[in-house]
Copies of this chain bind each other. A is one copy, B any other.
Amino acid sequence: MKKLNVAVIGCGFWGRNHARIYNDSEKTSLLAVADVKEEAVKRIGERYQVDQYLDPLEVFERKNVEAVSICTPTVTHADLALAAMKAGKHVLVEKPMTNTVAEAESLIKAAEKNGVHLAVGFVERFNPGVIEALRLVSEGEIGDVILARAHRVSRYPLRISDVGVVKDLAIHDIDIVRQLFDSEPETVYATAGRIAHGFEDYANIILRFPGNRSAFIETNWLTPHKIRRLILTGSEGLITVEFITQEITVENNERRYQPFLETREPLTLELEDFVQSVLGDTPPKASGEDGLMALRICEAALESAEKGQPVKI
């Protein structure tokens, strides 16, 4: 079987995980890793015995590299992804796709122009608990969903980030509720604030979807104990998803139940999907358009929090 030749750009927390999974997979050959920090790239390069680069552009020059994961700080995503696609590489960009909506649009155009696949790292889409919850909703298990509530909080005391908590954390839930309601929100209303970080570090976002359905997202970098939870309120029941344990709980009129799901590492499923989209020339589950829309909603939320008014999408 032909293996896809891949490289990982950025050797921080997420880059290390991409490298590990590409290395373990039977469908990929990890050829190279890159990072501007020598120590970081050396550690991963030696671990998997692959080529090390301090300059990502040199990776893109390599003919045999077919696809790259971009796991660098957000503000660098646009330049790196554009360079990679110009060089004909398929690209998976970590979330948030880019720092701005304009940059995201340029990436989508570049992917089209260069005929490459562009995927965005919405890893929570691949969480088995989320997949099962969406499946149950689509089967009518809890009737019509009228509200989705997300709770995504955890403390980042030393977080040095180039985006705020909305683009860092809330974006996951924004992406999931777009899937859930299979539509775009009409308006966004939000409150937000900053207690201990350079950017906003807490936000509460309400998305108004067609058909009088809503989503509410609470997120922050403050609360000590980590929570990653989604509660779907339906006219006939409730589903609670615990992202961390991948458990879901369904409550209806007769009972509360928890199906025992097989746990899987969501990132593995995400990379498998990306690789499959390249090898099979099919769209990835989380496309550039998904990344763009999520970003647009994030920016609308931040604008709303500042103005105190709902913002149309």
Residues on A lying within 8 angstroms of B by beta carbon are 144, 146-147, 149, 151, 153, 155, 187, 189, 191-193, 195-196, 202, 204, 206, 208, 212, 214, 216, 218, 220, 222-225, 227, 231, 233-238, 251-260, 308-310
Q: In whole angstroms, how far apart are the Cα atoms of A291 and B224 in the complex?
A: 36
Per assembly, the copies of the chain total: 4
Q: In whole angstroms, how far apart are the Cα atoms of A235 and B220 in the complex?
A: 9
Q: Do residues B225 and A238 form an inter-chain contact, with CB atoms below 8 A?
A: yes
Summarize A's interface: helix, strand, loop or mixed: strand
Q: In whole angstroms, how far apart are the Cα atoms of A138 and B130 in the complex?
A: 36
Contact pick for A255, options B206, B238, B258, CB 8 Å: B258
Q: How far is the CB of A162 from chain B (nearest CB, A)?
A: 23
* Contact partners of A192 in chain B: CB under 8 A: 212
Q: How far is the CB of A14 from chain B (nearest CB, A)?
A: 21
Contact pick for A204, options B187, B193, B214, CB 8 Å: B214
Task: Decide yes or no: A259 and B253 within 8 Å by CB, A202-B147, A206-B206, A233-B220 being known contacts.
Answer: no
Q: Do residues A223 and B234 form an inter-chain contact, with CB atoms below 8 A?
A: yes
Residue of A212, A223, A257 with most partner-chain B CB within 10 A: A223
